[in-house]
Structure 1
């Protein structure tokens, strides 16, 4: 009895000590922006960066398409952070859904039935074409693509996976091998069986096509030839970003995706559409493949399903693939698959898209974006091409419009040119990112026409500087 009493007293003292520590922590939490920045630089590694000389903006708060630093400066988020915050900062419906789930429970293993998980899976399938069957939840897009590849290999019994050179599917080992652009290099020599093919990048193609249909005929013929050379019976899947994202917002020419679908059907190959960036309303359709009248076999998603409020991704498989795993082991598993907080956020997010008619809004505002980008292309000698669909766009910078010489060489930027241009935009509180010789413009889907025009005036100013100082 005495031992029990002593233990109780120790526990009480521990609680008192913890309470004291909590008060102390609360006092310490009142940091300045400079302290936040300094601490992060000292203890945290920042992705895709040389760590020396980093100068991250310390973010204090955000609302809608804007966020503020600790000194009260307002910045406009013209890339939806990493093209994921489709509803912007501070969406009350998503915040409330997360809080409600917290009050119930924060976590249950994937083997348990959870209301939010069940509801979100059902909603996603209802948004998909009628050939789709079930969802496997992941934590992010890279995991979604890795698991999609595993499922394709298990289902087909084949091992080769085709993907494109100008693609980014994630940076983990499997997704990084699936990726085609230079971010795959640190993973090489890579995993056997990953095969790359060329994108329909008409702007930079050496062959002058008389029409989009002619380009499609050429690219599909070359892809068919490559499949034959690799051995069709060894190819499990073709994985594509439905619309190539960071590598230039490359929109497929007319007939290209139906042609690819036909090739897959001819050889028994699965078509996997990576909708991580292009999905969830970004292109004016809920999913980008809907713009091209095809039905994929597998769809991967992440980003806009929760808009970054809680990490979540997933793999949607056809009914045939889902039925296969009724009697065959699904050798995929993640501790946080279908995390309750993430799924609660996802249900609220998808409901919000529907309630505010987000697709109609994206198409209306997207027209304004496209018209303004065409004006910028005509006005600036540094703009070689602009590509856009919905609120998904890229400005391609060149040294010479006639030769189409890129402003920076592929995979290199020895003078830090794109970083300097990004700095000019940052001075005007226009926040986005660049990749290769591209400036990405992909703001939150809630942006208004007036906000688009206001922000693109800033881009116009910077492009004028590029015309004079960088080419």
Structure 2
């Protein structure tokens, strides 16, 4: 793989202060009460590191929003984007563009069996939005089923498909969205006693929901192949095959949301490849080009694509298939192959991340479960080791969330930037992170977890 050069960091606090002042005065941040946040001004980044204007470096164990899969400022990747910008920056979606055509072909070639075309968007939320629209038009039905432990984006439809509390502020929303429980063996909603039982009961629950919602009214079931922000929940063997069977039985389309778990995050081009299943529609974004340029899309099966052979698809975006974004996706996929990044992810998971997190779970009573695959892991933190009571309550904020805030501070003060959500801390570094860097970050996490252990009551 390419060697990333991390330059000597020269502090520039005056510039940082200007950045912070302009941000405070003029930027409206997402998911935040503006008066209660103080965003850290960032001066630069390289590889698995970024740094602030004070000169403090952080090991990026969040990949920002779990999207910088190729690492920050990959030198060959930056050069490819510069070359693409010099060649052609933009052209309208109504034209055939070389970068767009090539990106679509390469994505389809790496996608699950049966895929034929790509509808490009600017990000993951728009991908989910358009996938659901396609499913409704293809089937002539209106209902969309998705899990409670999910996040699918913040556009009008994708936020209604979202199951977690970020949906609440956008309600009431459009009709036809129904939520159900997916498998989660560690906190089983079905009182299961084994992974196999969890899979069986979760599929029966889904069958029951389909039955009472009227199968003939259901256009699609939307699933994150591996649930991301809401826990890195890996589907039990047989679950996705069971979902495929339910969909086929009732003429329902399966939409796989791979915005977070696709393009190397799980050690495959698409996470569904691990289970040998083929959805009808696949949503992607994030890792397709590591967020260097905004890009997302829907990989569309031949059957669904044929729906729009003779009738127009009633959707579009000014920047759909933006040439510069598509050129960056082409470059990213080539770099992934030339530098063996998928193989690196699998190796690091098997030899470093998996074994070290198992040791950390054994050592720290606050770690109820460590789970994951590839560069996609989470620690499920508990207050009570017997009952699995979460370290902080569901959707906690303020004083109730203090144990997690303390844990984050313990990580960042040691030079590692984590991702957390509710009672979980995620281990999701760039897919290019070296073994030495992984050990360094995991050493910091190991030390920081003493803060969480102090809150364990039993």
TM exceeds 0.5? yes
Shift of 1:212: 2.4
Residue 430 (structure 1) aligns with: 416
Whole-Å separation in 2 of the counterparts to 1:129 and 1:156: 21
Whole-Å separation in 1 of the counterparts to 2:342 and 2:288: 14
Query: Equivalent of 1:82, from 65, 72, 81?
Result: 65
Shift of 1:423: 1.6
Whole-Å separation in 2 of the counterparts to 1:449 and 1:96: 26
Shift of 1:226: 1.0
Residue 224 (structure 1) aligns with: 207
Whole-Å separation in 2 of the counterparts to 1:112 and 1:199: 42
Query: Equivalent of 1:57, from 34, 40, 58?
Result: 40
Residue 9 (structure 2) aligns with: none
Whole-Å separation in 1 of the counterparts to 2:13 and 2:409: 29
Query: Equivalent of 2:434, from 426, 431, 448?
Result: 448
Residue 116 (structure 1) aligns with: 99
TM norm structure 2: 0.94
Query: Equivalent of 2:224, from 213, 237, 241?
Result: 241
89-98 or 383-392, larger mean C-alpha shift: 89-98
Query: Does 2:447 correspond to 1:461?
Result: yes
Query: Does 2:139 correspond to 1:153?
Result: no
Q: Give 5+ residue unaligned stretches, structure 1.
A: 1-28
- The root-mean-square deviation of aligned C-alpha atoms, in Å, is 1.5
Residue 75 (structure 2) aligns with: 92
Whole-Å separation in 2 of the counterparts to 1:208 and 1:327: 49
Shift of 1:129: 2.3
* Residue pairs, 1:2-81, within 5 angstroms: 32-81=15-64
Query: Equivalent of 2:251, from 259, 268, 278?
Result: 268
Residue 372 (structure 1) aligns with: 356
Query: Does 2:378 correspond to 1:394?
Result: yes
Shift of 1:421: 1.7
Whole-Å separation in 2 of the counterparts to 1:396 and 1:289: 23
Residue 328 (structure 1) aligns with: 311
Query: Equivalent of 2:346, from 363, 368, 373?
Result: 363
Residue 160 (structure 2) aligns with: 177
Cα deviation per residue 1:378-435 (whole Å; 9 max; x = unaligned)? Answer: 1111111111111101111111110111111111234132223212211112102211
Residue 3 (structure 2) aligns with: none
Shift of 1:207: 4.5
| SS at 2:34 equivalent | coil
Query: Equivalent of 2:406, from 420, 423, 432?
Result: 420
431-440 or 231-240, larger mean C-alpha shift: 431-440
**Residues 160 and 234 in structure 1, CA contact (< 8 A), matched pair in contact too:** yes
| SS at 2:382 equivalent | strand
Residue 291 (structure 2) aligns with: 308
Shift of 1:456: 0.7
Whole-Å separation in 2 of the counterparts to 1:374 and 1:288: 22
Whole-Å separation in 1 of the counterparts to 2:182 and 2:201: 11
Q: Extract structure 1 runs of 4+ deviating beyond 3 A.
A: 206-211
Q: 1:53 to 1:193 in 2, by over 3 A?
A: closer
Shift of 1:155: 0.4
**Residues 93 and 349 in structure 1, CA contact (< 8 A), matched pair in contact too:** no
| SS at 2:383 equivalent | strand
Residue 322 (structure 2) aligns with: 339
**Residues 81 and 432 in structure 1, CA contact (< 8 A), matched pair in contact too:** no
Q: 1:431 to 1:305 in 2, by over 3 A?
A: same
| SS at 1:75 equivalent | strand
Whole-Å separation in 2 of the counterparts to 1:342 and 1:381: 45
Residue 253 (structure 1) aligns with: 236
Q: Give 5+ residue unaligned stretches, structure 2.
A: 1-11
Whole-Å separation in 2 of the counterparts to 1:214 and 1:383: 23
Shift of 1:453: 1.1
